[in-house]
């Protein structure tokens, strides 16, 4: 596996790498080792990113045909695949998830999101119907699709590349431009994607990345910016409420994807001779920065004691390994 290609994470604005108002540490959740320094974007950097995205709509990107955009997005997908191991290393360093999960799910799906949504655009139909006119003639009504504009993309920490490209892919395919604010916990793949965008020939201002936090930082500056036409967010409900209040000004659309932990319930009977395998394996496989696995079990006191005792018996002999060991 390749080593992490970045040890400093700058903002990517108008196809340029930009420093922020300050830096903060990006640390590996497995051993707390320092991955690199992240440049936090202030109000000025966020404003520059939004204006770059706005300008790109009036520039070469806004004048491209759908076929031209599709061709560029295919190059982006190919660029991710050509640097596959670098993206895997970046995702593992940020999230601590196992190599087989990052290499079989996160990065392949991240590349596929650009290809799939680009190809989907080829076959999206427009509505069309006829109607009678008062003078006895006929009229044809048809829909015209146009980009919404600048889209603010607020990403979570559990599937950094996958969920980010799930938002960025369709936005770019439809001719929009984006300003991405990745989680402060997982800035690596969004930053690395900036390099791929450059290599693929994506025009300046189409894809922008601003790093930082929520309140009084990049997240708040981005969602409150008056020149952002739409916001897409995946995360927890408290942050979502704040974003909804910001988006209400201007009645801007906000597609949501709320993150909720699921808790399996175990009933008093029967008392299993051994705990269900999924209740042990799934939380361990995604025990780092992920919300795929159950975080707690709800049961009666008697059942809980038995589950706890037998789970420890199963887990004590385990040999713990690095996420990069392929397990």
CA distance linking residue 21 with residue 44, whole number of Å: 9
| Mean pLDDT (whole number) for 126-152 | 93
**Comparing C-alpha atoms, which of 159, 161, 93 is closest to residue 322?**
93
CA distance linking residue 65 with residue 286, whole number of Å: 42
The whole-number pLDDT of residue 234 equals: 93
CA distance linking residue 103 with residue 120, whole number of Å: 25
256 upstream amide cis, omega within 30 of 0: no
Give me the percent of the chain exceeding a pLDDT of 70. 79
Structure tokens at 116: 């799939």
The whole-number pLDDT of residue 299 equals: 43
Q: For residue range 33-46, what is the model confidence (pLDDT) as tens digits? A: 999 999 999 999 99
pLDDT tier for residue 281 given thresholds of 50, 70 and 90: low
| Mean pLDDT (whole number) for 197-204 | 98
The whole-number pLDDT of residue 161 equals: 98
pLDDT tier for residue 269 given thresholds of 50, 70 and 90: very low
Could you identify the residue written with the tokens 């989907």? Answer: 120
Q: For residue range 114-132, what is the model confidence (pLDDT) as tens digits? A: 999 999 998 888 889 999 9
The whole-number pLDDT of residue 82 equals: 98
The whole-number pLDDT of residue 317 equals: 61
The whole-number pLDDT of residue 323 equals: 79
What are the C-alpha distances in Å from 273 to residues 270, 296, 307? Answer: 9, 20, 9
CA within 13 Å, CB half, 112:
8
> E strands of the chain, at which residues?
8-9, 11-13, 16-18, 22-27, 34-40, 128-132, 138-142, 150-154, 177-181, 207-209, 230-235, 256-258, 265-266, 298-299
pLDDT exceeds 80 at position 50: yes
Structure tokens at 302: 């008697």
**CA 186 to the chain's CA centroid:** 10
For residues 314 and 274, the answer to whether their CB atoms sit within 8 Å is yes
Give me the percent of the chain exceeding a pLDDT of 90. 70
User: How many residues belong to the chain?
Assistant: 327
pLDDT tier for residue 312 given thresholds of 50, 70 and 90: low
Structure tokens at 237: 């409900």
pTM: 0.84
Paired with 209 in beta bridges are 12, 180
Q: For residue range 202-225, what is the model confidence (pLDDT) as tens digits? A: 999 999 999 999 999 999 999 999
Give me the domains of the chain, ranges plus CATH numbers: 8-124+144-258 (3.40.605.10), 265-318 (no CATH)
Handedness of CA 91, 238, 13, 227 (dihedral sign): positive
pLDDT exceeds 60 at position 70: yes
Residue 153, SS3? strand
Paired with 154 in beta bridges are 181, 233
């Amino acid at each position: 596996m390749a080593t992490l290609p970045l040890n400093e994470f700058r903002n990517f604005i108008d196809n340029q790498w930009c420093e922020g108002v300050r830096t903060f540490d990006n640390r590996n959740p497995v051993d707390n080792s320092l991955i690199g320094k992240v440049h936090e974007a202030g109000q000025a950097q966020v404003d520059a990113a939004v204006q770059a995205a706005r300008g790109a709509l009036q520039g070469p990107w806004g004048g491209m045909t759908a076929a031209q955009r599709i061709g560029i997005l295919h190059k982006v997908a190919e660029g991710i695949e050509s640097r596959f191991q670098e993206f895997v290393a970046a995702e593992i360093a940020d999230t601590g998830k196992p190599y087989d999960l990052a290499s079989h799910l996160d990065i392949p799906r991240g590349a596929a999101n650009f290809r799939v949504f680009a190809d989907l655009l080829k076959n999206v139909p427009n509505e069309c119907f006829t109607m009678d006119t008062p003078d006895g003639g006929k009229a044809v009504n048809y829909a015209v699709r146009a980009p919404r504009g600048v889209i603010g993309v607020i990403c979570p920490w559990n599937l950094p590349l996958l969920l980010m490209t799930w938002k960025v892919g369709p936005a770019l395919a439809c001719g929009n431009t984006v300003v991405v604010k990745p989680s402060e916990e997982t800035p690596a793949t969004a930053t690395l994607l900036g390099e791929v965008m450059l290599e693929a020939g994506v025009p300046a201002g189409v894809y922008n990345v601003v790093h930082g936090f929520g309140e009084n930082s990049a997240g708040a500056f981005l969602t409150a910016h008056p020149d952002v036409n739409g916001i897409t967010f995946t995360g927890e409900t408290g942050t979502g409420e704040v974003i909804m209040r910001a988006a209400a000004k201007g009645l801007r659309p906000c597609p949501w994807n709320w993150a909720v932990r699921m808790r399996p319930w175990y009933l008093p009977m029967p008392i299993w001779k051994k705990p269900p395998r999924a209740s042990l394996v799934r939380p361990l496989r995604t025990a780092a920065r992920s919300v795929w696995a159950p975080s707690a079990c709800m049961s009666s006191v008697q059942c809980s004691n038995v589950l706890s005792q037998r789970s420890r018996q199963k887990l004590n002999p385990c040999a713990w390994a690095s996420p990069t060991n392929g397990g």
